[in-house]
A and B are shown apart, each in its own frame.
Chain A
Amino acid sequence: MSIVNLKDIVKTYPNVTALDHVSMKIEKGEIHALLGENGAGKSTLMKVLYGMTRPDSGEIEINGTLVEIQNPMQAINIGIGMVHQHFMLAEAMNVVENIIVGSEPKKNGRVDYYQAKQEIEKMIQKFGFSVSPDALVEDLTVGEKQQVEILKTLYRSAEILILDEPTAVLSPQEVERFFEVLKRMKSDGKSCIIITHKLYEVFQIADRITVMRDGVVTGQVEPENMIKTSVNQLANYMVGKTTAITNHAQERKVYGDICFEVEELSCKNENKVILDDISLCIRKGEILGIAGVEGNGQSELVKALTGLLKPNSMILKLDGKTVKGTTKDFIKQGIGHIPEDRLKYAVAENMSIAENLVLGYQDSEEYCKKGIMKLKKIKSMSAGRIEKYRIKAPDFKTLINQLSGGNQQKVVVARVFEETSKVLICSQLTRGVDISTSEFFYSLLRAFGESGGATLLVSSDLEEIFTLSDTIAVMYKGKIAGLRKKEDFTREEVGILMTGGRLDTGKEDHCG
């Protein structure tokens, strides 16, 4: 008997069928991977199981008994716990408070913090966590915050754990530790469902795999077939056509001259050092990848290099000429920017695709004559780019907020790639973007390099860094902890540097 049996679940939203008669079984004590692209319906399915969304029809059986799960509270009472992708924590409060809230042990009308702490310490021991119960959540690393989320479910005696993209934000070492915790939970008889789109790690950890695409289950891999299944097979289930995952390893070209150079970049915020004397350079045609756990200064680095933030000191040279001034001056000199948060920095949500395509370049001669926009030109340009960049939209008048995240990003990418000639500063390029679009972006980035452009690529996805970069720099606490040619770095070494460790050999100076 399966511990969870989802039968024929249907969920429709206006215009979309999110789940189309989906059935799925989870056995006790297994790690079950739920694989699929963004929008495939995997999160919706799990929200149904967790009571956050009511299905239109379908049944849920837990341990063979039919149950109705109307809200998360009922799910918790049945023994289901969920670890959300975006952590749901009160940052200013401590670990114990975050874990017990809603299920507090009480004594004489007050919360019994002492007993709660003891209980939590026991769980930390048992499952091999490293977090301290008294720490404030805002002082924790991403990995530790995730531990708090898992502890929240275990504290409520969850037997079935749903983990939404648990490894998306972790460094390789943190992933290792997380897998260790998963294995301990499994041997303790807990059943874990991991929602993911990372093909490789599925093989590393899962006992059973269910693949979804467009609201239906497209493939299932039983434990006995795990060895026989290939990554490409899973990718086909996910994407729906035979798209072999291309091997991006290519022979290295020789780069050109130094194109983009930054020296002595330091930045302080209220006496806290955010960026500490950073020097980097990028040659023509080179892609420099910046790896690092988020929050180690990457955002500020990007902002400083695009003129959005005025650092305490910085010497920035483009083709030997000093770049100074406001964001507008940076753009004019040929520095393009794909920001990490597109809704905040890249697009105006309530404006059309056409308007957004000229944003930042609106007073270039191309689109503007004596202060008056050349609307005809903009229209024809927009129509062309919608086609070229495969933006899924009825026409160029469509508002940005009517587009999916992936298509919004295509608008940003279209604008920046078309208008930028020399340097591209690009952060979290493929966040919230599906595999095929990511592949498309990758090919654009490579073409940009081949045409002599210099690229700075910031990503929290280590795979992306290794796929695209020629050179990799690792940031830790506002410093460049290491910088080497990609061939000279292993993922493990990068991971060590990302988490504050040291390597025996120092960094090389590839601009020297």
Chain B
Amino acid sequence: MSDVLNMIQSILFSAFRMGVPLAFAALGGIYSSRAGIVAMGLEGMMLTGAFSATYVTYLTNNPWFGLLGGMIAGMLLAMFEGILIVRYKLNQVIGGVGINLLALGGTNLLMQMVWDNRGKSPLVPTIGKVNIPGLGSVSVLLILLIVLAIASWFLIYKTAWGLRLRVIGENPQAARSLGIKTNQIQYTAMAVCGMLSGLAGSYMCIDQLDFFSRNVTAGRGYIAMSIDILGRYHPLGILAGGVLFGAADASQVALQRFNISGQLLKMIPYLVTLLVIVFAVKHVKAPASLGKNMNEE
């Protein structure tokens, strides 16, 4: 009995830990989606962020610089995708998948070049924890996540910039006919999306783990996309979604003590993703112009 309780407790705790990167990336995905751009490239931005954060930490021995590096790298990649889609009207799904493949190939190559190792990086220092009464020691980034989610809610629902962003996601022509500079807002949204995804990737390598390994994100960017759907593209909704998917991720670790094939367990998070997409999507209305590129007048 106490065994089960222990397991549930450990799943809950790790649900929070595992949920943080998913929620960060999903939060980024909201900005992109609300600007009408499918957040297909989250995976690539996370992976690039993860690598860059590890590398900068490795160079400077300071994980905070690493965090900054991860965010900047994610942002640059997101801006690149933004330019392809907004300026050159590239199909959004193809653009996103391209970004992801580029990030995967790019980080593999760079790993080889920098560390001469195809599997993983050397160990690096990590970001510290803070002690919260009742919760024990938690990552500083968990606090940051909650602060950023609330700030995002304010930004998207209470400010003029947020109103404009939402209108662009629904009907960019309408926004443009009122003189709103849609491109500018879309680029900004992509930049924020990249920073948050970069943060998500950084968390994985310089907080949760203390090294970078080949394809460390392993599809979490795609999971973040489904968290966006589940959380109705709302910054507070995705916090809950993050915990749910974090729990799915954590349960596979917790269940490993039973005699179940590891391959089967690893499927759990992706299975949950699939189920969410099949059953939840029906009831969630995505921004109306999501995935559509705007035609010039």
Tell me the A residues contacting B by CB distance below 8 Å. 47, 52-53, 71-73, 76, 82, 84, 88-93, 97-98, 100-104, 106, 109-111, 152
Q: Which chain B residues (172-187) contact chain A, with CB distance < 8 Å?
A: 173-180
Q: Are B178 and A152 in contact (CB under 8 A)?
A: yes
In chain B, residues 148-170, which have Cβ atoms closer than 8 Å to a Cβ of chain A? Answer: 154, 158-160, 163-164, 166-167, 170
The reply to whether A88 and B160 contact each other, CB–CB distance below 8 Å, is: no
Listed in ascending order, the chain B residues whose CB lies under 8 Å from chain A are: 154, 158-160, 163-164, 166-167, 170-171, 173-180, 285, 287-288, 297
Q: Are B297 and A52 in contact (CB under 8 A)?
A: yes
Contact of A97 among B154, B159, B163, B297 (CB under 8 A): B163
Q: Give the top 7 A-B pairs by smallest Cβ distance, nearest first.
A: A73-B179, A90-B170, A88-B174, A102-B178, A104-B160, A110-B158, A90-B171
* Binding site secondary structure of chain A: loop
Whether A102 contacts B179 by the Cβ 8 Å rule is yes
Contact status B163-A109, CB under 8 Å: no
Contact check, B174 vs A106: say whether CB atoms are below 8 A apart. no
Interface pair A102/B166, CB less than 8 Å apart = no
CB <8 Å contact, A91 and B171: yes
A103 touches B158 (CB 8 A): no
A170 CB to closest chain B CB (Å) equals 20
Nearest-neighbour CB distance to chain A for B165, whole angstroms, equals 10
B159 touches A90 (CB 8 A): no
Q: Are A111 and B175 in contact (CB under 8 A)?
A: no
User: In the complex the two chains form, is A101's CB within 8 Å of B171's CB?
Assistant: no
**Who on chain A is nearest to B163 by CB?**
A101
| Residue contacts A-B, CB under 8 angstroms, 21 given | A47-B297, A53-B297, A71-B179, A72-B176, A72-B178, A76-B178, A88-B171, A88-B174, A89-B174, A90-B171, A90-B174, A90-B288, A91-B170, A92-B287, A97-B167, A101-B163, A101-B164, A102-B164, A104-B163, A109-B159, A111-B160
- List the B side residues contacting A93 at CB < 8 Å: 166-167, 170
A111 touches B174 (CB 8 A): no
Contact B288 A92 (CB under 8 A): yes
Residues in A with CB closer than 8 Å to B179 are 71-73, 76, 102
Nearest A residue to B159 by beta-carbon distance? A110
- Is A91 a contact partner of B163 (Cβ separation < 8 A)? no
On whether the beta carbons of A91 and B173 are closer than 8 Å, the reply is: no
User: Contact at B180–A102, with CB atoms within 8 Å?
Assistant: yes
Distance of A111 Cα from B163 Cα, bound (Å): 9
Contacts of A88 in B (CB 8 A): 171, 173-174, 177
Tell me which residues across on chain B come within 8 A of A103, comparing CB atoms: 178
Most A C-beta atoms less than 10 A away, residue of B154, B166, B170: B170
One of B158, B167, B285, B287 near A101 (C-beta < 8 A): B167
A residues within 8 A CB of B170? 90-93
What residue of chain A has the Cβ atom nearest to residue B169's Cβ? Answer: A90
A101 with B159: CB separation less than 8 A: no
